[in-house]
Amino acid sequence: MPHKNLTPETVFKPSSPPGSEPVFAFANSEPLDCEQDQYKQLIKAELVRQRLPPAHLADRMQIPRPKLHKILKQNTPLSDTMRDRIFVELGIDEVRARFSVALLRDYRAYSEKSAFVAVESLKSFYLELKTCRRGSIDVDLRPAIIHEAARRAYDLLISHQERVIQNDQTLQA
C-alpha cells in the first residue's frame, strides 16, 4: 500500500477475519509471550544495551542477586512493584514500555523510533488535554480533523529535523 494511501483506519484495520487474530498484532506471526514475560525480555534487552550485568543491577537496587536472577531467568513472577523499580533504575520509560508490551504486544518495539515518537505525542496530547493550557475543547471533532492535525505536526517535525541535520552538516564542513 503506497504511503499516501495509509490512514489510521487502514493501519489498524485487521487483515484477517474478525476474531482470528488480535488487531494490534501487526507483523508479529510468532507466538506471543504473556505481558510479564515480555517485560522481562525488555528488561534483559535494556541490560544488554547498557552493558550492565544483572548482578550489578541487583546491587544498585539493594536486592539479593539470586532473587533478581530467579525473576529474570526463571519462572519467578515479576511483580508490578519490582518491574517499576527496575524501570526507574534502568531509565526505562514506563509509558513507552507499556505501549510496546500491552498495546503492540512486542517488547522490541520499545527501542524503535516510531514507538518513541508515538508515545511522546500521546504524552504531550494528554498533558494538553489534562491542563487545558489552550482552553477546553467544546465541540465534537471528527477523527479526520485530528488525524490531519497530527499529520501536519509530524510534517513540521520532520522538516525541522531535516533543517537541523543540514545545519549540522554545514557547520561541520
Residue 122: pLDDT band (50, 70, 90) is: confident
Residue 166 contacts residue 26 (beta carbons within 8 Å): no
Residue 154: pLDDT band (50, 70, 90) is: confident
The mean per-residue pLDDT over the stretch 43-56 comes to 95
85 has pLDDT over 90: yes
Per-residue pLDDT, 126: 79
Per-residue pLDDT, 53: 94
What integer best gives the mean pLDDT of the chain? 81
95 has pLDDT over 70: yes
Per-residue pLDDT, 42: 96
24 has pLDDT over 80: no
Angle value at C-alpha 82, between 24 and 86, nearest 5 degrees = 80
Residue 153: pLDDT band (50, 70, 90) is: confident
pTM: 0.66
Residue 86 contacts residue 43 (beta carbons within 8 Å): yes
